[in-house]
């Protein structure tokens, strides 16, 4: 059991932190025994054994204060610190736990008898709060900083020789979860009769395509396809030729039975209010839900999900409710989620969406790059919400390939995506992918990359779910509670069966200093769908009592 000793105003932050790091914990109570005490911004208790982790540093023990934070080098991972960072005077080499990227000591570890004491020169509560609210700047987007904080604490516990039980953020038997999503901004080009969208397409498909060909960013075959598409536009308008922007059949064929979530704009011709930047009028959709009703029914029959691609839901409860109710006419009831068009949001958006009746949101992500805006692979509860969960967005096609954003070649884009897949494999959670409606078609031709990405994710042993399925699974994981009992730790869960099953993970062998924190330690996984709690608790107690576990990897 971990006891957390913190300021009163930080209690809610640590409650959310330990929903992501799902392991037994409670706010520290004097007189109770704890294997681990985490002290953050509070007096340090006396301990004789176990692990004491102190976040922050006493001025007398520190070498300096960096108000602007800094970057730690934890193993091979750069970890940005967004609050103040205290550094320590250079101690004996064997007590240094972590340094900054310029070599200063930012963490110490000492062992005295049966007690290990670790001091880290930053405020964990501040870091968690900053990540889950403000988020990370683009330069740190590639590191899941919050997940690294969890991994560091996990490694400290195991390196102190203490057993650890947790519920990892991935279903039993799966490496991680994948959520494939599609924003339907354009249901086809036929609705765009020589408007800005159509003229823009013609320019990009002719002059723009030629420039890409000369710049060796497009093959001659693709160039010819773009020109043919541009030439066929009058026939598309007449209905004599298939609309080459029509997205639904292509995605259903490409994903071949995988569930996906399609976000549909609920009202035609509404650009929305309070839209920042230029060209706000171009945000309006040219299609109506009635235009895609048949396709929507097919999607649902094939196991896919419909969500709201919100217009004004991010700032207006009434408008958000109207947008949700409009889409509900195409569904059979049940929870409905949202992703805001252009990813618009502000600090009040989680509260507004929750009051409008949405079960989850998936608007937190970058438009200009890929990665972890909030530093995590997991759905989380944003500030201001009491029930709504945020499903983070990680990979977006436009961020990878669009001019003015990353504008990457497919080779460079694959390197970036591969790193995020590696992180998903290491930290679990969900990898959320957004591929827009017309990205497979002329003139973008980002479809081949998407086919490769889906194939790679299939081969990783991932569990695929719609956004609603993924959020529901993580909600049930959050509903599980670890409680003290006379014999140790008791599991409490009062909900429906959990499918796919959770994994109750019992760590044993202490990893060596050269090993990474995520997957190289030994553990045993017990699949658990929420029932038969007493038998599971007995097995957990038996496994946790063993001094060493030699099972390598996850055994289902």
What is the DSSP annotation of 16-66? HHHHHS-S-EEE--TT---SEEEEESSPPPP-SSEEEEEES--GGGEEEEE
- How confident is the model over 320-376, as pLDDT tens digits? 999 999 999 999 888 999 999 999 999 999 999 999 999 999 999 999 999 999 999
| Structural domains of the chain, with CATH | 2-166 (3.40.50.880), 178-186+246-440+464-471 (3.20.20.370), 480-544 (no CATH)
pTM: 0.93
> Tens of pLDDT along 118-157?
999 999 999 999 999 999 999 999 999 999 999 999 999 9
* pLDDT recorded at residue 262: 98
Three-state SS sequence of 155-206 = HHHHHCCCCEEECCCCCCCCCCEEEEEEEECCCCCCCCCCCHHHHHHHHHHH
Could you report the per-residue pLDDT of 210-220, keeping only the tens digit for each?
998 898 888 99
User: Over pLDDT 90: what percentage of the chain?
Assistant: 79
**Dihedrals φ, ψ of 507, to 5°?**
-85, 150
Res 548: pLDDT: 36
Percent residues over pLDDT 70 in the chain = 91
The four Cα atoms 288, 290, 295, 296 give a dihedral, to 10 degrees, of 90
Count the Cβ atoms, other than its own, within 10 Å of residue 267. 16
pLDDT of residue 544 exceeding 90, the answer is: no
- Mean predicted confidence (pLDDT) in 220-247: 94
The residues, ordered by sequence, that sit 6+ positions from 512 with a Cβ below 8 Å of its Cβ are none
Pick the more confident residue, 257 or 530: 257
Contact 183, 283 (CB under 8 A): no
pLDDT recorded at residue 143: 98
C-alpha 46/C-alpha 39 separation (Å) is 11
Average pLDDT over residues 269-287: 93
Asked whether the predicted pLDDT for residue 542 surpasses 90, the reply is no
The answer to whether the CB of 405 falls within 8 A of the CB of 367 is: yes
Quote the tokens at residue 556. Answer: 């289902």
Averaged over 162-166, what is the pLDDT? 92
Mean of per-residue pLDDT scores for the chain: 90
Note the pLDDT of residue 521: 52
SS3 content of the chain, % helix, strand, coil (to 5): 35, 20, 45
* pLDDT over threshold 70, residue 201: yes
pLDDT of residue 541: 65
- The tens digit of pLDDT for each residue in 402-446 reads 998 999 999 999 999 999 999 999 999 999 999 999 999 999 999
Least confidently predicted of 181-190, 193-202, 293-302: 193-202
Average pLDDT over residues 280-288: 93
Q: What is the pLDDT of residue 42?
A: 72
pLDDT, average across residues 237-244:
94
SS3 of residue 73 by DSSP: strand
Banded pLDDT at 517 (limits 50, 70, 90): very low
Listed in sequence order, the residues at least 6 apart from 542 whose beta carbon sits closer than 8 Å to its beta carbon are none
Nearest to residue 147, comparing CAs of 136, 139, 163? 136
What is d(CA 449, CA 445) in angstroms, rounded to the nearest whole number? Answer: 9
Coil, helix or strand at residue 134: coil
Tokens of 475: 């909600």
Q: Is the pLDDT of residue 7 over 90?
A: yes
* Strands 502-507 and 164-166, sheet pairing: antiparallel
Nearest to 35 by CA among 48, 44, 22: 48
* Order of all β-strands in the sheet with 164-166: 164-166, 502-507, 523-528
How far apart (Å, rounded) are the C-alpha atoms in residues 316 and 324?
12
- Residue 486 has a pLDDT of 72
Q: Cβ distance 98 to 74 under 8 Å? A: yes
Q: How is 417-452 classified by DSSP, letter by letter?
A: HHHHHHHHHHH-SEEEEE--TTTTSTTT--HHHHHH
DSSP secondary structure string, 488-513? EEEEE--SSPPSSPEEEEEE-SPPPT
Residues with Cβ within 8 Å of 526's Cβ and at least 6 positions away in sequence, in order, are 503, 504, 505, 506, 536, 539, 540
Q: What's the mean pLDDT in 221-238?
A: 94
pLDDT tens column, 462-503: 999 999 999 999 999 999 999 887 767 888 999 999 999 999
pLDDT digits (tens, 9 = 90+) for 46-105: 888 899 999 985 544 555 677 678 999 998 899 999 999 999 888 887 799 999 999 999
* Pairing verdict, β 36-40 and 2-6: parallel
């Amino acid at each position: 059991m971990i006891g957390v000793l913190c300021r009163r105003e930080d209690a809610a932050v640590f409650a959310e932190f330990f929903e992501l790091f799902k392991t037994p914990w409670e706010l520290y109570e004097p007189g109770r025994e704890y294997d681990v005490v985490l002290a953050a911004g509070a007096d340090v208790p006396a301990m004789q054994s176990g692990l004491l982790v102190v976040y922050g540093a006493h001025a007398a023990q520190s070498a300096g204060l960096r108000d602007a934070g800094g970057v730690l080098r934890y193993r091979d991972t750069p970890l940005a610190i967004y609050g103040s960072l205290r550094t320590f005077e250079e101690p004996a080499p064997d007590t240094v736990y972590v340094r900054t990227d310029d070599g200063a000591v930012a963490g110490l570890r000492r062992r005295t008898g049966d007690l290990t004491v670790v001091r880290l020169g930053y405020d964990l509560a501040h870091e968690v709060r900053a990540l889950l609210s403000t988020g990370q700047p683009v330069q740190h987007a590639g590191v899941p900083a919050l997940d690294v904080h969890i991994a560091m604490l996990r490694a400290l516990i195991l390196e102190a020789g203490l057993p650890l039980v947790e519920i990892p953020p991935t279903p039993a038997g799966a490496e991680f979860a994948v959520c494939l999503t599609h924003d339907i901004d354009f249901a086809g080009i036929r609705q765009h009769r020589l408007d800005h969208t159509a003229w823009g397409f013609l320019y990009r498909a002719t002059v723009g395509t030629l420039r890409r060909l000369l710049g060796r960013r497009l093959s001659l075959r693709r160039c010819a396809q773009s020109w043919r598409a541009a030439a066929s536009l009058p026939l598309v308008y007449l209905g004599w030729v298939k609309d080459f922007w029509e997205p639904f059949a292509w995605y259903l064929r490409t994903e071949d039975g995988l569930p996906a979530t399609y976000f549909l704009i609920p009202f035609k011709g509404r650009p929305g209010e309070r839209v920042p930047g230029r060209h706000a009028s171009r945000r309006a959709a040219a299609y109506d839900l009635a235009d895609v009703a048949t396709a929507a029914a097919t999607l649902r029959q094939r196991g896919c999900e419909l969500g709201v691609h919100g217009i004004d839901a991010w700032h207006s409860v009434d408008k958000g409710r109207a947008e949700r109710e409009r889409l509900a006419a195409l569904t059979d009831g049940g929870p409905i989620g949202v992703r805001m068009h252009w990813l618009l949001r502000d600090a009040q958006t989680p509260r507004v969406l929750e009051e409008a009746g949405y079960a989850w949101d998936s608007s937190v992500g970058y438009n200009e790059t890929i990665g972890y805006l909030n530093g995590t692979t997991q759905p989380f509860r944003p500030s201001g919400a009491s029930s709504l969960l945020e499903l983070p967005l990680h990979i977006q096609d436009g961020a990878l390939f669009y001019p003015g954003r990353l504008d990457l070649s497919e080779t460079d884009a694959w390197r970036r995506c591969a790193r995020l897949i590696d992180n998903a494999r290491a930290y679990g959670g969900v990898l959320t992918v957004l591929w827009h409606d017309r990205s497979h078609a002329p003139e973008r031709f980002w479809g081949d990359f998407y086919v490769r990405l889906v194939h790679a994710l299939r081969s990783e042993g991932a569990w695929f779910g719609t956004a609603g399925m993924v959020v529901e699974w993580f909600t049930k994981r959050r509903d599980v509670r670890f409680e003290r009992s006379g014999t140790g730790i008791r599991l409490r869960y009062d909900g429906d069966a959990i499918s796919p099953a959770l994994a109750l993970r019992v760590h044993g062998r202490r990893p060596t200093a050269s090993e990474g924190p995520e997957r190289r330690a030994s553990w045993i996984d017990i699949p658990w769908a929420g029932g038969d709690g007493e038998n599971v608790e007995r097995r957990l107690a038996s496994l946790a009592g063993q001094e060493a576990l030699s099972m390598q990897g996850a055994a289902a």
